[in-house]
Structure 1
Amino acid sequence: MSFDHLGIVCADLAEGRAFLGDTIGISGWTAPTMDPIQKVHVQFAKDACGMIYELIAPSAPESPISQALKSGKNILNHLAYITPDLAAAAAHLEAQGCIAVSVPAPAVAFEGAHIQFFYAPLGFLIELIEQETTTLVFS
């Protein structure tokens, strides 16, 4: 597995972009994407050091991230890793005590590549993305 991005929940993508731009100077963004399967709007940015951030906003009241916004918890939502073999990486995480909190599903933001989320014993989420390399395009 190799690190890909840090996911941050926000109520609105424009609000999140403005904050990250004003606060830490991020200006290169991908196009926004709506994912009907995950029920979210997402947009990615890269900072001057190459760190990738994902803003995640709900697209429906039943979105999995709506509860995070309501509770103010898990706003710094997940660490994402690319893996060429989702099943093998999932088995590795489970052997380390991580619990699958979703089933593998295609993600629009990753051109239909399957993703899966796990809850780590240390109290944070890990996202696995089944790809060889990132496919994100920044402007």
Structure 2
Amino acid sequence: MASSARPELTFDHVGMVVRDLKSGFGNVCSLLPIVSATRIYDDQMLGVSVQFLRDASGVIFELIAPLGDDSPVAKIAASGRGVINQVAYRVRNLADAAQYFRAQGATPTGTAKPAIAFAGAPVQFFLTKEFVVVELIESEGASREFVPI
């Protein structure tokens, strides 16, 4: 894929770092019109525990909590800064999308890794020139099951 052709990006969710999922869930649900949630996913490879929430308008939020002291979000959770951590998009081909992001000056924060919350689909994170983290998910559809809360 030529680096000048932007890949098709389909919005998936906004990620928010919380100190722990239980209190984060309670706080977000008390403030926002959350109507459903997924189960909790503990992802040792990514070093995070996550849970997805959906509001009344269909917007999906991912609560992200550190899974251990070496978690990539541990410092964010402890500091309370940068808690709106990322915007995530699904892409058909992660390698092509990653090439495009690099060509546009975005820096990968690490290599692509399989994510439990996306049925093992690879994900990769990029830091843009504006210091926004964008998560790319190689998946054409969400595999999460939401239940009413």
SS at match of 2:34: coil
Which residue number in structure 2 is paired with residue 25 of structure 1?
A: 33
**Identical-residue share of aligned pairs (%):** 38
Residue by residue over 1:64-86, the C-alpha shift from the partner in whole angstroms, topping out at 9 and shown as x without a partner, is 00011233322100000000100
For 2:100, which of 92, 95, 105 is the aligned residue?
92
Which residue number in structure 1 is paired with residue 54 of structure 2?
A: 46
What is the count of residue pairs matched by the alignment?
A: 139
1:11 aligns to 2:11 (yes or no): no
Between the aligned partners of 2:112 and 2:103, the Cα distance in structure 1 is: 17
Residue by residue over 1:18-42, the C-alpha shift from the partner in whole angstroms, topping out at 9 and shown as x without a partner, is 1111101213100001001011110
Which residue number in structure 1 is paired with residue 6 of structure 2?
A: none
Query: Which one is further off, 24-33 or 75-84?
Result: 24-33
Between the aligned partners of 1:24 and 1:71, the Cα distance in structure 2 is: 23
Q: CA RMSD in A?
A: 0.9
Does the Cα contact within 8 Å between 2:65 and 2:77 map onto a contact in 1?
no
| Aligned-partner residue type, residue 52 of structure 1 | I
1:63 aligns to 2:76 (yes or no): no
Does the Cα contact within 8 Å between 2:66 and 2:77 map onto a contact in 1?
no
**Deviation (angstroms), 1:8:** 0.2
Superposed, which structure 2 residues align to 1:123-138 within 5 Å? 123-138=131-146
Between the aligned partners of 1:65 and 1:135, the Cα distance in structure 2 is: 24
- Structure with larger Rg: 2
**Deviation (angstroms), 1:123:** 1.1
Q: Which runs of 5+ in 1 are unaligned?
A: none
**Deviation (angstroms), 1:12:** 0.9
